[in-house]
């Protein structure tokens, strides 16, 4: 167990709708990253938050946004859902001083857009 939890486990949405996915990190993990993993692919970096501010972003449009809260939880919001947004969404967190890539991943949320 990594101590990182995500909710919901599975979600089905319709094209054009909005979705919010949630992640709860271990206490003290003040850096959280979100990834999109399409079927048969490796995870793709969406963005990273550090102390409640975005401090890195991958090649994703602005309709992908996030929030990080003081209680080490975070959200990924996706507006105007498209069919290609169907994927497994992973969050990963790490504590201060931990190597940047020794992240702890959650189990993911499987999003299906119909």
Helix, strand, coil proportions of the chain in percent (round to 5)?
A: 5, 50, 45
Contact assessment for residue 77 and residue 87, using Cβ atoms and an 8 Å cutoff: no
DSSP state of 83: G
Half-sphere exposure of 35 (CA within 13 A, CB side): 18
Shortest reach from residue 109's CB to other proteins, in Å? 10
Residue 30 found at the interface with other proteins (CB under 8 A): no
* Least Cβ distance, residue 16 to other proteins (angstroms): 26
Find the part of the chain contacting other proteins (CB under 8 A) among 12-20, 61-69, 75-83, 93-101: 93-101
Beta carbon of residue 103, minimum distance to other proteins (angstroms, whole number):
7
66 forms beta bridges with 76
Residues that bind other proteins (CB under 8 A): 2, 4, 33, 37, 39-45, 48, 55-56, 58, 88, 90, 92, 99-103, 105-108, 110
């Amino acid at each position: 167990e990594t101590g990182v939890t995500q909710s919901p486990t599975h979600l089905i949405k319709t094209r054009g709708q909005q979705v919010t996915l949630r992640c709860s990190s271990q206490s003290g993990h003040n850096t959280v990253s979100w990834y999109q993993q399409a079927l048969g692919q490796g995870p793709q970096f969406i963005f990273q938050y550090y102390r409640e501010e975005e401090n890195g972003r991958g090649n994703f449009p602005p309709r992908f946004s996030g929030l990080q809260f003081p209680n080490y939880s975070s959200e990924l919001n996706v507006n105007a859902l498209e069919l290609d947004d169907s994927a497994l969404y992973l969050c990963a967190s790490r504590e201060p001083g931990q190597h940047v890539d020794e992240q702890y991943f959650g189990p993911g949320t499987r999003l299906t857009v119909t």
